[in-house]
Amino acid sequence: MLKWDQLREPESGEERLWELFHENSKVSPVDVAMSNEQVLARMGEMHQTLPYDGHPRYALPAPTTQLSLSVQDAILRRRTARKLAAVPMSLEALASLLSLGYGITSDNRGNVFSRSFRAAPSGGALYPLEIYFHSVAIEGLPPGLFHYNPTRHDLRHLRDGDLSRDIAGGLLFQREIPEESSIVIFLTALFDRSTFKYGGRGYRFALLEAGHVAQNLNLAAVAMGLGVRNMGGYLDRHMDGLLGIDGCNHSTVYMLAIGKLIDDGVSGVVAPE
């Protein structure tokens, strides 16, 4: 049987994979763009957000948390937290965090492309990302794995129970993070939502967009008095399996743990009072 490792291209040599990819995802003057009609037809076949119908639904309150910091102060205070603690989080704070990360900010009615606009920019307004999170600390929610639907501003409960240990098993470093944070967020990408239009460059766009969403979440969390651990060092197949996504068309691209910021005395973190 073919093993995953046999599918991998070697990292070194004349044909480095990242270089091949970068070269082949460059825009060229001879590229032929899809027509608007073709783009619209494909968009019409795709979910704006995965629906997860049939899973228990939790409505989210309006995202009305008043943030206490200016953008300037949030940027200046942002640090990747070296130490976090799990503290309870209100449903309202969660709603604000998710909404400021990737929520709908304009219904964009009347625009020919008809997708609602969001808190993060998106190449072609195609929004290839999905947001999942795990928590045992949200007031009013059962423990477990959830999916956030920005279009409906609600949640679906996908898996019940404390999965902290399972998540820890997929982390390369600091396996205490899931237990020591209030919420672990998974940013995933459905690549075809972007690559159908932009080809290989659409893959770049999905990752760039994840950076936008992650920064929104970082700044919003800091302004809510919380700390964030940004994580790229995880076992992809482990996390994708945990989320129940195929890892090929749809895969985890970034993770963030959020909790109470603990000043570890060395990282220069300004812990809020």
Ligand X SMILES: Cc1cc2nc3c(=O)[nH]c(=O)nc-3n(C[C@H](O)[C@H](O)[C@H](O)COP(=O)(O)O)c2cc1C
Q: Which of 25, 34, 55, 80 lies at the binding interface for ligand X (CB under 6 A)?
A: 80
In order, the DSSP letters of 100-151 are HHH-EEE--TT-TT-PPEESS--GGG---EEEEEEES-BTTS-SEEEEEETT
Q: How far is the CB of 235 from ligand X (least distance, A)?
A: 11
Q: Which of 89, 183, 231, 257 lies at the binding interface for ligand X (CB under 6 A)?
A: 231
Which part of the chain contacts ligand X (CB under 6 A), choosing from 17-25, 36-44, 182-190, 228-236? Answer: 228-236
Q: How far is the CB of 233 from ligand X (least distance, A)?
A: 3
Q: How far is the CB of 218 from ligand X (least distance, A)?
A: 8
Question: Taking CB under 6 A as the rule, does residue 83 contact ligand X?
Answer: no
**Nearest-angstrom CA–CA distance, 253 and 112:** 30
Which part of the chain contacts ligand X (CB under 6 A), choosing from 114-122, 187-195, 199-207, 224-232? Answer: 224-232
- Nearest residue (CB) to ligand X, 81 versus 94: 81
Question: Taking CB under 6 A as the rule, does residue 151 contact ligand X?
Answer: no
Question: Taking CB under 6 A as the rule, does residue 79 contact ligand X?
Answer: yes
Question: Taking CB under 6 A as the rule, does residue 215 contact ligand X?
Answer: no
Integer Rg of the chain from CA: 19
In the chain, beta strands by DSSP E? 57-59, 84-85, 104-106, 117-118, 129-135, 144-149, 154-160, 183-190, 227-231, 250-261
Q: Provide the mask over 159-178, with x wherever binding to ligand X is found by CB under 6 A and - wherever it is not.
A: --------------x-----
For the chain, the residue count is 273
DSSP character at residue 178: T
Q: How far is the CB of 81 from ligand X (least distance, A)?
A: 8
Report in angstroms the alpha-carbon separations of 149 from 47, 104, 186, 195: 11, 10, 13, 22
Task: Write out the residues near ligand X by the rule CB under 6 A.
Answer: 79-80, 173, 229-233
